[in-house]
Structure 1
Amino acid sequence: MPYDMLLLLLVAAFEPMLPLGPAAAMNAGTAHPHWQNAFGRNPALAASSPWLALGGGYWRPYGLEGVDQAGLSAAAGFERWAAMLGISQFGFDRYRERDFAVLGAFRAFPTVAVGAAAHLLTVTTSPVRTEAVVALDAGAAWSVGFLHLGVAANRFNLPRLANGDLLPATVRAGLSAEPLEDFAVALDAAWSEYGGETSAGFELGLLPQLKLRFGVGYPPLEYAAGLGVVAGPVEVDYAFRYHPQLRDSHILGLRFSWW
């Protein structure tokens, strides 16, 4: 196995490597009020869901031959309640990681939402060997005016694989602001036993049908840029990401929203 492919696998194990929606290019989304940021980040953001939404995405990480990841999600909002289903798969050759998730969010107050998620994480290493563990997430989001705060704990139940390997918890905190109608900025920080990381990004609406996005993360120093093109209930997302060791990657997303 090439070294860069092995490095990708070690870094990626059961992480939300395929960010969907604006976070694919903004790099930050723990507080940014978009329903697709709920999957793998902050489940409380499912409360931002429209009446019905469907979304998906695909990438071949860093151009590595035979390696790909895809994800699908659906959300529905009911006044103060919202629910989501999501699935993602990462793999190459006979190796597959899959994440099946159920999320729920409740707007306890007009400015406060809380959410929780249960993930069934499976890893397949051969046609006859698959193991599964359950991971739990919890989060909260607070909004007042154009300011948004979010906190979340991913895998807080500290699941272990059959060989005893721990899937560590990640604690996240985020700040997002929309001071102008067509401009949003987001900042995230995350901590796990592997260390901390920060990310930031912004979204600028050039036209009602066109959004420009940029983001940066550290460590390592990873850059991202992308576009969102809107046509009625349909939005197409594109993101370009550059990793200093694994080089460039492209993410494509498609979303349908009915308000």
Structure 2
Amino acid sequence: MFKLIASISVCLLGIYSVELSAQNGRFDLGSRANGMGNASVTLADGWSMFNNIGGLARVENTVAMFTYQNKYGVPQFNTFGGGFVKPVLKGVAGVGVFRFGDDLYNEQKINLGFSNQFGLTSLGLNVNYLQYNIEGAGTKGILMLDFGGLATITEQLVFGAQVTNINQAELSSFSGEKVPTVMTAGLSYRPSTGLMLNVEIEKDLDFDAYFKIGLEYEIIKKVKFRTGLVTEPFESAFGIGFTPSAFDVDYAFRNNPNLGDIHELTITYRFDD
């Protein structure tokens, strides 16, 4: 029944939105982040291309990555993403790709990012080309910018912040609708190696702020357990990560009581530079 409702909803969006005002609006990716309830603004890994470009500067090796999200068991909501990250020019550069939807309605994004370290602080900029397509209504592409940073306050405390779509790119000239501009800030407490507690606040300009909390703990060597909570809408999250060698294999599960479950599987490969 839910699959039928979802398909009908997407069809209605296509009929109603000749100016392509329907949108998913979420581009956060990576099972490590989503296993922690996406409390990811202080993380520094290849998936910083999507979660906080400021963290990219702290990646030390060339990285290739891919992820797949199954949202609520509805094929029309499936999401794919991937990227390639490499240290260059005394900083770190990367390219990322994202796709949500099916042939009837889909969102596709490619982003180019660069981040640099300045002492205890790293700053980065993402340039995104975002394309919306609705069958029978056409295609629209726009440019948007993300800016973010990380700051090491102490050996145990890291601060992170990012603004997505800082240029407030307009999606529809007819309705004035814009791609969501989202501000995120958070603290990460790392009392020991293998233990991390993240707390964040996120604010879409058009909606109320909400909180996220995430935990990562290394159970045994090369195996990490994750969990997290989101306050609005309320979601619980769990995840596990395994690092056998140069590979990271991560799985995340998120539950929304009203919509259902999200499963995500991520594979990351670190090259020996």
Output the TM-score relative to the length of structure 1.
0.91
Gaps of 5+ in 2: 14-20
Q: How does 1:108-123 map to 2 (within 5 A)?
A: 108-109=118-119, 111-123=120-132
Secondary structure class of the residue paired with 1:39: helix
Q: How does 1:205-224 map to 2 (within 5 A)?
A: 205-224=218-237
Deviation of 1:11 after TM superposition, in Å, equals 9.2
Give the Cα–Cα distance (whole angstroms) in 2 for the partners of residues 16 and 181 of structure 1. Answer: 29
Aligned match of 1:33 in 44, 47, 51? 44
For 1:241, give the aligned amino acid. Answer: R
**Which residue does the alignment assign to 1:72?**
82
The C-alpha deviation readout for 1:64-84, integer Å capped at 9, x for no partner, is 144311000111124840111
Q: Which segment drifts farther, 72-81 or 238-247?
A: 72-81
Higher strand share: 1
Q: Which segment drifts farther, 38-47 or 117-126?
A: 38-47
The C-alpha deviation readout for 1:9-48, integer Å capped at 9, x for no partner, is 899623115x214102012011123331x23332111112
Give the Cα–Cα distance (whole angstroms) in 2 for the partners of residues 184 and 102 of structure 1. Answer: 29
Contact 1:139-1:150 within 8 A present in 2 as well: yes
What RMSD, in angstroms, separates the aligned Cα atoms of the two structures? 2.2
Give the Cα–Cα distance (whole angstroms) in 1 for the partners of residues 80 and 58 of structure 2. Answer: 23
Aligned match of 2:201 in 189, 201, 210? 189
The C-alpha deviation readout for 1:86-137, integer Å capped at 9, x for no partner, is 011000342110111011101022x110111111010011277211011101
**Which residue does the alignment assign to 2:133?**
124
Contact 1:135-1:159 within 8 A present in 2 as well: yes
Q: How does 1:50-199 map to 2 (within 5 A)?
A: 50-78=60-88, 80-109=90-119, 111-126=120-135, 129-143=138-152, 144-162=154-172, 163=174, 164-192=176-204, 193-199=206-212
Give the Cα–Cα distance (whole angstroms) in 2 for the partners of residues 11 and 244 of structure 1. Answer: 23
The C-alpha deviation readout for 1:161-217, integer Å capped at 9, x for no partner, is 144321131111011122111111111111111221211111111122211110110
Give the Cα–Cα distance (whole angstroms) in 1 for the partners of residues 83 and 42 of structure 2. Answer: 19
For 1:114, give the aligned amino acid. Answer: L
Q: How does 1:34-49 map to 2 (within 5 A)?
A: 34-36=45-47, 38-49=48-59
Secondary structure class of the residue paired with 2:253: strand
Give the Cα–Cα distance (whole angstroms) in 2 for the partners of residues 125 and 171 of structure 1. Answer: 28
Give the 3 Å change call, closer, same or farther, for CA 67–34 of structure 1 in structure 2.
same
Contact 1:87-1:98 within 8 A present in 2 as well: yes
For 1:13, give the aligned amino acid. Answer: N
Q: Percent identity?
A: 22
Gaps of 5+ in 1: none
Give the Cα–Cα distance (whole angstroms) in 1 for the partners of residues 263 and 45 of structure 2. Answer: 21
For 2:124, give the aligned amino acid. Answer: G
Give the Cα–Cα distance (whole angstroms) in 2 for the partners of residues 33 and 66 of structure 1. Answer: 31
Rg: which structure is higher? 2
